[in-house]
Amino acid sequence: MDDNKVKRAINPIYFKQYNTLTDSGFYKMLFEKKYLIPHKTDIVTPEQIIIEAKKIPFISYPYEWSFLQYKHAALLTLKIQKLCLEHNFVLKDASAFNISFHQGKPIFIDTLSFDFYQENNPWIAYKQFIQHFLGPLVLTKYYGHHHLKTLANNLEGISLRTLSKSLPLKSYLSPTILTNIHLLASFDKKYESDKKTVSNNLSKSSQIKLIDGLYDYILTLSVNEKTEWDDYYNQINYKETAYQFKKEVVKDWFKSIKGKSLIDIGGNDGAFSRELKDGAQFVIVADVDANAVEQNYKQLMKNREKSILPIVIDILNPPASYGFNNQECSSFMDRVIDQHLDGCLALAVIHHITLSGNVPFKLSAQFFSQMAPNLLIEFPTRDDSWVRFLLDSKREFKDHFDFYNEENFEKEYAVYFEIMKKEKISDSERILYSLKRL
C-alpha cells in the first residue's frame, strides 16, 4: 500500500494465470456480480505486473462480524468457488480474511487467489474453508456467539481435532457435519505425516455437489442464543418524547460539525446512525452485542444502505493487532484512527464503560479523543434508573463510584475536549454533551 492506494505486484510465476483470468473475462464477471473488489492493471514489465485495486475504507475482520455476516462471507466464498469451477478455475485459498464488508455486502478482496482447475482434482482449499468458516459457524450454532471470535486466536483457522472434539455427540447425526468435520478430522490425523499428492479422485460434478451441500447446510444454519439486545426495547428507561428529542439533537449535531463520516460506539442496531444516512457517506456502527449488530445488518440489506458498516466490538477489549510482528491484522484503534472520521457518537454507553467496565473518566475521555475531533456523548446522571441499578450492583463498593457525576465528568473530559453544547434530555435523567477535541 502506498499513498492511500492498494497496489499489488505480480511475479512472472503468476503471469499466465493473471492474463487468462483477465482475457477470458472472468475477473470482469466477478466485478459485475460484485463478488470481487475491482482492480486495474497499472504497470506491465517483463519482471512484474503491478495492479491497483479499489480501496475499501475500513477493513473488518471475521472476528468482528455477526453470525449472519459470517454466514454470508462463507456463502460468498462457496459461490465464487462454484463459479470458478464452471469456468475452469479454482479458488486456491479460502481464508475468511479474504472477505471484507463493503457497501453493505461481503466482498472478496484477494485478487490473486485464483488458479487453473486441474481435471478431477479435489479442492485444495477445502480444509481451510472448514477451519475458517464451517468450524466457527457450527461452534456458534451449538455454543453461542463468542465462537465467532475464534479466528482472533487462530489466524490459520481452528484446528480440526479441537473442532471435532468440541462438538456435541448429536452433531454426528448431521451427515454434513459428520463428513465435513468429524470424518475430515480423522482422515487429517491419519494422513498427517503423509505428503503424497492426491489427484484425480474427484470429478468436477462431484466437487460441485460437495460445494452445493455445504452451501445448503450453511444457508439454513442459525444460532439460538438470546442476548441483552433481544430485551432491549423492554428495558429502555426513557419515553418516546425523549427518544425523538435525542434523534433531533443527533441530527443537528451532525449538521453543525459538517461531517461526512462517523463512528457510533455502542450503536446498537444503528437506529441513531440511520437518522444521519443522508448526510453521512460512511458510518461504522460498533456494538458489543452480536444480535444487535445482526439486526443492523439485516436492516441495511433490506433498505440497501451502502454507507453503514455494522461490526461487533467490545469497547472494553477491542481487537488487538494480530499475526507475525503484530502486523498481519491491525488493531481496531489503529484502523479507526487511520480513517480520520469527522464525528463520534456515544449514546447510552458511558455508564457502561465507567460502571460496568470500571474505566475512569480520564481514560474514557482519552479513548474518545482518539476516535474523532467531534464527540456527541450522552451522560446518564446518578438519578437515571440504569445508573442506579449499576451502582447498586457494586454493593459494598458503591462508595468507590461516588466520582460518577456531572462535575467530575466535565472536569476530566475538559482535559481533551471543549464543551460546545450541553442539553438535558427532557423526560429523562440524561444529558447530551457536544464536545470538540482541543
For residue 81, the number of C-alpha atoms closer than 13 Å in the C-beta half-sphere is 27
Residue from 29, 44, 219, 320 that binds another protein (CB under 8 A)? 219
* Of 438, 196, 242, 219, the residue nearest 347 (C-alpha): 242
Query: b/e string for 271-306 if b means 16 or more Cβ within 10 A?
Result: bbbbbbbeebebbbbbbbbbbbbbbbbebbeeeebe
Q: Nearest approach, Cβ of 75 to another protein (angstroms)?
A: 7
CA neighbours closer than 13 Å in the CB half-sphere of residue 361: 19
User: Residue 162 or 339: which CB sits closer to another protein?
Assistant: 162
Are residues 374 and 347 in contact, defined by beta-carbon separation less than 8 angstroms? no
Alpha helices, H only, 33-66: none
Find the shortest distance in angstroms from Cβ 263 to another protein.
25
Chain centroid to CA 145: how far?
A: 13
187 binds another protein (CB under 8 A): yes
Q: Is 395 in the site for another protein (CB under 8 A)?
A: no
178 binds another protein (CB under 8 A): yes
Measured at the CA of 390, the angle between CA 389 and CA 395, to 5 degrees, comes to: 90
Q: Report in angstroms how near the CB of residue 162 gets to another protein at its nearest.
A: 15
Nearest to another protein of 81, 364 (CB atom): 81
**The three cell numbers locating residue 410:** 466535565
| Among positions 86, 216, 228, 402, the unique one binding another protein when judged by CB under 8 A | 216
How many chain residues touch another protein (CB under 8 A)? 54
| β-sheet bridge partners, residue 265 | 286
Question: d(Cα 63, Cα 70) in Å, to the nearest integer?
Answer: 9
3-state secondary structure of 110: coil
Of residues 190 and 395, the one with the C-beta less far from another protein? 190
Nearer to another protein, 33 or 258 (CB): 33
- Expressed in angstroms, the distance from the first to the final Cα of the chain is 31
**Residue 207 lies near another protein (rule: CB under 8 A):** yes
183 or 438: whose CB is closer to another protein?
A: 183
Residue number with CB closer to another protein (83 or 337): 83
Listed ranges 211-219, 261-269, 288-296, 393-401: which one lies at the site for another protein (CB under 8 A): 211-219
Binding of another protein at residue 161 (CB under 8 A)?
no
Decide if residue 66 touches another protein (CB under 8 A): no
28 near another protein, judged by CB under 8 A:
no
Q: Which residues contact 149 (CB under 8 A, 6 or more apart)?
A: 63
Given a contact cutoff of 8 angstroms between Cβ atoms, the answer to whether 404 and 387 are in contact is: yes
d(CA 288, CA 280): 23
What residues are paired with 116 via a beta bridge?
89
The amino acid at residue 379 is F
Complex with another protein: residue 214 or 223, whichever CB lies closer: 214
Q: Does 194 bind another protein (CB under 8 A)?
A: yes
Under the criterion CB under 8 A, does residue 373 sit at the interface with another protein?
no
Give residues with Cβ within 8 angstroms of 76, minimum separation 6: 35, 99, 106, 107, 108
Query: In this structure, what C-alpha cell is assigned to residue 195?
Result: 505428503
Residue placing its CB nearer to another protein in the complex, 155 or 288: 155
Asked if 79 is part of the footprint of another protein (rule: CB under 8 A), the reply reads yes
Exactly one of 28, 55, 209, 422 binds another protein (CB under 8 A); which one? 209
Mark the segment that binds another protein (CB under 8 A) among 138-146, 190-198, 226-234, 399-407: 190-198
∠ CA 248-251-253, rounded to 5° = 105
Residues 274-313 that bind another protein (CB under 8 A): 301, 304
Cβ-based neighbours of 121, under 8 Å, separated by 6 or more: 90, 199, 200, 202
Return the range that interacts with another protein (CB under 8 A); candidates 17-25, 200-208, 260-268, 422-430.
Answer: 200-208
CB of 257 to another protein, least distance (A): 32
Q: Does 221 bind another protein (CB under 8 A)?
A: no
Stretch in the footprint of another protein (CB under 8 A) among 29-37, 226-234, 371-379, 425-433: 29-37
188 touches another protein (CB under 8 A):
yes
- Evaluate whether 37 touches 111 at the Cβ level (below 8 Å): yes
Site string for another protein, 118-137 (x = CB under 8 A): ----xxxxxxx-x-------
Only one residue has cell 460518577, namely 404
Q: Which of 195, 226, 340, 395 binds another protein (CB under 8 A)?
A: 195
Binding-site ranges for another protein (CB under 8 A): 33-35, 72, 75-76, 79, 92-93, 105-106, 112-113, 122-128, 130, 156, 175-176, 178-180, 183-184, 186-192, 194-196, 198, 201-202, 206-207, 209-210, 212-214, 216, 219, 301, 304, 324
